[in-house]
């Protein structure tokens, strides 16, 4: 396993729609392992393949934040939301590709998601709370959408300018 660099917004790859994964291969398993290690190291609760420059429909997540609790890493390949609740929740979201920026985003409170697992089998699960928010946020990444796309244009532009400045500073260092 190895850490992969996380792309920082604005990067055109973050706005592209990822390609479905044809089959679970050793390369896909390696990518999933690397992404989990990268996500935990960041630290974050979710990471989509486009965030590490791989345009495959794959995401990893683990919403267990308590360091005393057992981690619950999940790998979802070709995930798709099959049901959403009418009820919504508002969470303050952040993103590893938009560091240190947070904003309230409204999403369905509960979702059912179907995906292909590393075992090659189709899985389906009902998510609520933080898990529901996280899986929707990561699926958005697979569709070229960022959490700031839910914000008013002025706020989105302000955050984008901060990210451009951050990237310039990192390039100089």
For 56, half-sphere exposure in the C-beta direction (CA atoms, 13 angstrom radius) is 21
Instruction: In whole angstroms, give the CA distance from residue 87 to residue 66.
Output: 27
Instruction: In whole angstroms, give the CA distance from residue 32 to residue 85.
Output: 29
Instruction: For 125-159, give the DSSP string.
Output: EEEEHHHHHHHHHHHHHHTT--GGGGS-HHHHHHH
Tell me the C-alpha to C-alpha distance, in Å, between residue 115 and each of 69, 73, 76, 123: 25, 15, 6, 5
Is 138 in the active site? Answer: yes
Instruction: For 73-112, give the DSSP string.
Output: -EEEEEEEEEEE-SSEEEEEEEETTEEEEEEEEEEESEEE
- The catalytic position among 92, 106, 138, 169 is 138
Q: Tokens in use for 44?
A: 């974050």
Instruction: Name the DSSP class of 67.
Output: T
Active site members: 138
């Amino acid at each position: 396993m190895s850490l992969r660099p996380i792309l920082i917004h604005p990067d055109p790859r973050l706005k592209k729609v990822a390609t479905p994964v044809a089959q679970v291969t050793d390369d896909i398993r390696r990518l999933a392992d690397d992404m989990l290690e990268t996500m935990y190291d960041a630290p974050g609760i979710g990471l989509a393949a486009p965030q590490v420059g791989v345009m495959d429909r794959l995401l990893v997540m683990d919403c267990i934040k308590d360091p005393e609790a057992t981690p619950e890493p999940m790998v979802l390949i070709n995930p798709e939301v099959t049901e959403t609740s009418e009820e919504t929740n508002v969470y303050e979201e952040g993103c590893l590709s938009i560091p240190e920026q947070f904003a309230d985003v409204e999403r369905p409170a509960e979702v059912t998601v179907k995906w292909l697992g590393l075992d090659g089998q189709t899985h389906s699960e009902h998510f609520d709370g933080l898990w529901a928010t996280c899986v929707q946020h990561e699926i958005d990444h697979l569709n070229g959408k960022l959490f700031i796309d839910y914000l008013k244009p002025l706020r989105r532009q302000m955050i984008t300018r901060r990210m451009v400045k951050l990237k310039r500073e990192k390039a100089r260092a």
